[in-house]
């Protein structure tokens, strides 16, 4: 009886502890996320995995003020046939990456995926301003994102992506509009634009 009573508070305590202590400060300068490398500015915090349970194993989520206010997400090395999120339930109908996708199709893949993170039907998400961008030596592209969400502020952001060796590297920033978007957009975009892949020597 005593053990039964102590289990729920223990779980709660562990959960709260993970929420409070799970965030770690991201070092300024070059950071590696799997084989992806980005140049981080100050003030970003790495969110614990528990905060984004649909995240892929090798993905990272950073935030300045909390995940509901702003998030910078890195999804490296998505292979052909894989989704941008780690959701096993087929009923979610998540779109998957195909290695022959062109920029417009990656943009659509991102739009449909991000929409589902808000809950299907709870948001309308639009992307625009698809434009080329070179990530280091890799040819890629960027686009803007705008989400209107039920009972929530609007979100705006920017995304970048490139494909190397048939794998997709995808990054996006989304923040509550107008304050948090305006506050962090330039810093977030600079980090996304800095993305490149580690050279074989760096990986070793």
Partner 1 sequence: MKLRRLTLLVAAALLASGATIAAEDEEVTHKIPPGYVPEEARDEQGLWLELKDAERSLNKSALLIRNNEVNAYINEIVCRVAGPYCNDLRVYVIRNPNFNAMMTATGMMQIWTGLIIRAGSTDEIAAVIGHEIAHYTRLHSLQRLRDIKKKMAAGVFFDIALIALAGVDAPVGQLTAQLSALAFNREQETEADLLGTKLLANASYDPHASYTVWENLIAEDEAAAAKREDPGMFGKTHPESKNRASYLKALVISRYGQPDQEKLADQKLLNVLNANYLMLMEDQLDTNRFGRTQDLLERHAEIGVDPSLVRYFYGEMFRQRGADGDRELAKAAYRHSIEGGNAPPGVYKNLGYLLLKDGDTAAARNNFRTYLELNPDASDRAMIEFYLEE
Site for partner 1, rule CB under 8 A: 1, 4-5, 8, 89-95, 98, 100, 102-105, 108, 111-112, 115-116, 120-121, 123-125, 128-132, 141, 143, 148-151, 154
Shortest Å, Cβ 83 to partner 1: 10
- Of 152, 192, 148, the C-alpha closest to 38 is 192
Main-chain dihedrals φ then ψ at residue 114, nearest 5 degrees:
-65, -35
Closer to partner 1 by Cβ: residue 35 or 127: 127
Q: Which is nearer to partner 1, 62 or 143 (CB)?
A: 143
Report which secondary-structure segment, H or E, holds 180.
helix 179-193
Closer residue to partner 1 (CB): 51 or 101: 101
Query: Residue 148 Cβ, how far from partner 1 at the closest point, in Å?
Result: 4
Residues 194, 56: Cα–Cα separation, whole Å? 22
Tokens of 153: 């502020």
Nearer to partner 1, 1 or 20 (CB): 1
Q: How far is the CB of 6 from partner 1 (least distance, A)?
A: 10
Smallest separation (angstroms) from partner 1 to the CB of 36: 22
* Residue 73: count of CB within 10 angstroms of its CB: 25
Closer residue to partner 1 (CB): 102 or 204: 102
What the block records as the tokens of 15 is 């959960």
Q: Which two tokens stand for residue 16?
A: 């709260």
Q: Which is nearer to partner 1, 11 or 30 (CB)?
A: 11
- Residue written as token pair 């909390």: 66
What φ, ψ does residue 29 adopt, rounded to 5°? 100, -160
Can you name the residues that pair with 125 across neighbouring β-strands? 147
Q: What are phi and psi of 41, to 5 degrees?
A: -90, -175
């Amino acid at each position: 009886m005593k053990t039964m009573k102590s289990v729920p508070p223990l779980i709660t305590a562990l959960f709260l502890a993970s929420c409070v202590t799970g965030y770690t400060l991201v070092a300024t300068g070059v950071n590696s996320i799997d084989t992806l490398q980005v140049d981080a500015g100050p003030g970003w915090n790495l969110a614990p995995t528990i905060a984004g349970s649909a995240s892929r194993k090798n993905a990272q989520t950073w935030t300045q003020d909390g995940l509901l206010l702003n998030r910078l997400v890195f999804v490296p090395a998505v292979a052909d046939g894989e989704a941008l999120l780690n959701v096993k339930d087929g009923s979610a109908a998540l779109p998957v990456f195909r290695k022959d996708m062109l920029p417009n199709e990656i943009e659509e893949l991102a739009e449909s995926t991000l929409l589902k993170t808000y809950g299907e039907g709870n948001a309308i998400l639009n992307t625009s301003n698809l434009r080329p961008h070179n990530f280091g030596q890799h040819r890629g592209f960027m686009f803007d994102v705008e989400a209107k969400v039920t009972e929530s502020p609007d979100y705006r952001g920017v995304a970048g992506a490139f494909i190397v060796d048939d794998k997709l590297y995808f990054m996006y920033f989304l923040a509550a509009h107008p304050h948090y978007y305006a506050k962090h957009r330039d810093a977030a975009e600079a980090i996304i634009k800095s993305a490149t892949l580690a050279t074989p020597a760096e990986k070793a």
